[in-house]
Each structure stands twice: as C-alpha cells, then as structure tokens.
A and B are shown apart, each in its own frame.
Chain A
Amino acid sequence: MGVVQAKRDYSLSGPENKRALESGLASAEWYASPIPRKRMKELMKRKNGPAIRDTVIWLALLVGSGLLAFQAWGTWLAIPAFLIYGILYASPGDSRWHECGHGTAFKTPWMNEVIYQFASFLVLRPATPWRWSHARHHTDTYIVGRDPEIAQPRPPVWRIILMEIMHLYAGPKDIKRMCLHAFGMIDKEEKEYIPKSEYRKTFWESRVYLLIFAAVVAACLYTQSILPAMFVVLPSFYGSILVLTFGLCQHLGLHEDVVDHRLNSRTIYMNPFFRFIYWNMNYHIEHHMFPMVPYHALPQLHAEMKGDCPKPCRSTWAAIREVVSALRKQGKDPAYTIVRELPVSAQPYRYKPIPVEGGNHYARAMD
C-alpha cells in the first residue's frame, strides 16, 4: 500500500478502480483470525428465535412511540415524540436492512427477505441495488475505486456529514436513483456492481417505492396535513442521527487499501439499547471478517477473536471522538491514519506502521 498524499478519485469507474484491479487489491483474499472450524460452524448456525423476538419488540416500540407522537401532534411534545419515533424507524430500519440483506438474521429465508424489503423502504434504499452494493463493500472493504460504501473520502467533506444529520445527501441521491429505475434506467455507478440480470427487479422495486410515495403525498393532500408523511418517508430524514453516528464509526479514520479488517474496521463496546437498535453491528471487525455469523452470535465471536484484534473503543462516545479527531487531521493531511496496536496474542498485521513527524502514522505493506 502506498502513502496517500493527493486527493483520490473515489468513483468506481476511474483510475483508482484500474489501479485496484492491477495491484491485486480487488477481490483479494483477506486475513481471517484462526478459529477452529467446529466453533465457526456453531457460530454460523442460524436461528429464527432471536430475530423474531427482536422484530416484535422493535415493531411494538415503533407502534407505541407512533401513538404517542400522534397524541402529541399540535403540541411542543410532538418534537421529542417524533424524534423518538424517527430514531426507532430509521436506526433499526438500517440495521435490519443490513442483517437481513446478509441473510443471517433469520434461519428462514423468506423472513429475511420480507424484513429486508420492508426495512429497505424505511431507509429509502432501493433493495436490489443496495444488496449488490453491500456485497461489493464486503468484497473490497475500503478499497478505493472498488467500494461503493466508503462513507467519506480523504480529505473528508464536512458539508456532506452535516447534511447527513438529516439524511439530506444520501436520501435525495437514492430517490433520484429510484426515479431513474422507475423509467428503466440504471445509474452509471450502479452499473459497476449490479448485474444486468437484476435490472428488471430493480425497476419494479423502485416503481413500488414511488407508488407508496405518491400514496403518502395523496394522504397529505387529502388530510391537508403533513402528518401522514411524518409517519412514513420523513422519519428516514428526521430520525437518522444514529444511523449517521453508527455509520461514521464503522471504518472512518482507519486504513484504506488493506486486506485486513483489523486495520480498516472498528469494534466498539456499546450500551444494550444501542446494541439492540444496531443489532450488534458494533462488533464490526468481527462482522466483516466473518459476515455469515448472525448478529446474535457476534458477542460470542468477539470473545473468540478479541485476542487477535486491536482493543475495541470503550464506548460510542469514545469512538465518535476518535473518528472526528481523525477526520479533522485528514482535513489537513489526507494520509493521516489511526494505527492501533495488536495484543501480544495476535497474529501480526501484514503491514507496518511508519512514525512520522507530528505523530501521524501511516501503514504500508510489508516487503
């Protein structure tokens, strides 16, 4: 891996894509912590129980907070009530979209598919394109020119981060793509990872989404109120603060262009409520290294491999501080990267840190 000095092209069809393909970084074989096969089989085993329980609790919380918000409409109490409803709509929507997209949350495939489609609509992500986008994210995690889900380039664009507090960058982008799909067109970037055999499904899914949008608009016009949209569609904007918070903490500040998830992903110890709405994705190194381990088994997987990983961030707040600090440093020096020490029990990285003046550290591949 070379030291990053200049602004890079993060598009999937530019020179960085060619470079990643030529250097062997694309579709590479990644480091995996040594876990006995028997134990891995236990950890990968599918269950319906935990996901059914968690889905029932989630939907009950969503309906309950929605009723409270409805009662509070027209008063100042509506602000916190809708904030709670929006967070319970968007954040678990994001994590359920994610886990069910991996096909691991439930044992029964149709349950994963139903919740995946439902949650995709909640977070306004066209279901099929995002399934393929996320598959690429797992193939080429934070490989520049290959991964369509790199949250921020280097140097970071703070305007986009601020817009994403209300989902005002990615949300409109996805709605624009839905409109293209509805007319039988695919965005240029999407063509890089969606096979043609999936186009038809993509077009019909977006048409259904747009029909639902139209129904919500019609309901608003009929009732002469924005209230229907406050329950459907708008929560993915006004309730997205935790989606952003968790999303920023997954990889930012860490390495690009390395084939070891211990260097480019972040595991965080979170409180039980956050873990519930995030479905244990705080164990992000574990998830990326072994993506077929269901969310409910990630704490056990963490126990198996923590001796081979850098120390987790001790809290969500600690992770946010680490990320913001790194992004600020990358604003001045795009090559800045957090380097985390491994415990003595770990297999060493295939990369070595290079101390430089000012305390920044870069990593490059061992010769």
Chain B
Amino acid sequence: MQEPWIEVCDSNDIEEEDVIRFDYGSVTLAVYRSDKNAFYATNGYCTHERVHLSDGLVMGNIIECPKHNGRFDYTTGQAKKTPACDALQTYPVKVTGGKVYVRIE
C-alpha cells in the first residue's frame, strides 16, 4: 500500500524560486517551488554535511548548500557540484486545492 499524502503548506507559502523546510516526525525535507511554478521535494539535508538546504539559494533547478557551495538539481536530486557527491533523495509532490502535499516513502 502506498504511503498517504501529507499536507506541507499553502502553495503561496513558498515564493517562486525558493525553498522551505518541512519537518515530519524524524524526517526533514526541503520543499521547492521553481521559477516555472512547479513544486518538488528532497531530503532536507545536504549529502555532504548535515546542513539544512532550506537556508540555501535556489537558482533555476539548482539548490545550493548554504555552507559549502555543494549544488543539486532538486528536480532529480542529482549532485551537480562538489563537495556534494551523492544524490539527494526526492519525494513525490502534488498540489491540490492550493495546498502542497508530499508523500514520504
């Protein structure tokens, strides 16, 4: 059976080309709104060091770690620049009725 969708926030709570932190139980996610108004979610911590990506800068499809300049494509989770070497886990996201939902698998 699939995991349920979990409400994150109103879609307007995230600015375009920005990211917020979402904590659910012991899991910390980063939830993104792209400059094309699409929503995505990844693990909330950089894979290089335990740093919250939600404090980083979103540039197009890229999230930059606020501490070491490691970069990821948050639409795929792929690491794009060292010191980030390992990919981020991504999570399904949907927007329904102006609310953003994520499925934590």
Seen from chain A, the residues whose Cβ lies within 8 Å of a Cβ on chain B are 27, 29, 32, 37, 40-41, 44-46, 102-104, 109, 131-132, 135, 138-139, 195, 197-198, 290-292
Contact = CB atoms under 8 A, between A and B. Distances in A.
A202 B18 CA distance: 35
B81 A103 contact: yes
Contacts of A290: 66
14 contacts: A27-B50, A37-B18, A41-B18, A41-B57, A44-B66, A46-B59, A103-B69, A103-B81, A109-B81, A131-B83, A132-B83, A198-B82, A290-B66, A292-B56
Chief secondary structure at chain A's binding surface: helix
Nearest to A197: B85
Given A41-B57, A132-B83, A195-B85, A27 B66 contact: no
Contacts, number: 43
Contacts of A102: 69
B50 A291 contact: no
Most chain A beta-carbon contacts within 10 A, residue among B64, B65, B67, B81: B67
Contact of B69 (A45, A104, A132): A104
B95 to A, nearest CB: 21
Interface in B31-82: 48-50, 55-57, 59, 64-69, 81-82
Interface of B: 18, 48-50, 55-57, 59, 64-69, 81-83, 85
Contact of A138 (B55, B59, B67, B85): B67
B83 to A, nearest CB: 5
Most chain A beta-carbon contacts within 10 A, residue among B18, B56, B69: B69
Nearest to A291: B67
Most chain A beta-carbon contacts within 10 A, residue among B55, B59, B68: B68
Contacts of B55: 32, 40
Contacts of A32: 55
Given A41-B18, A44-B57, A139-B49, A292 B69 contact: yes
Nearest to B65: A292
B68 A138 contact: yes
Given A44-B57, A102-B69, A109-B81, 7 more contacts: A27-B50, A37-B18, A40-B55, A46-B59, A135-B68, A139-B68, A290-B66
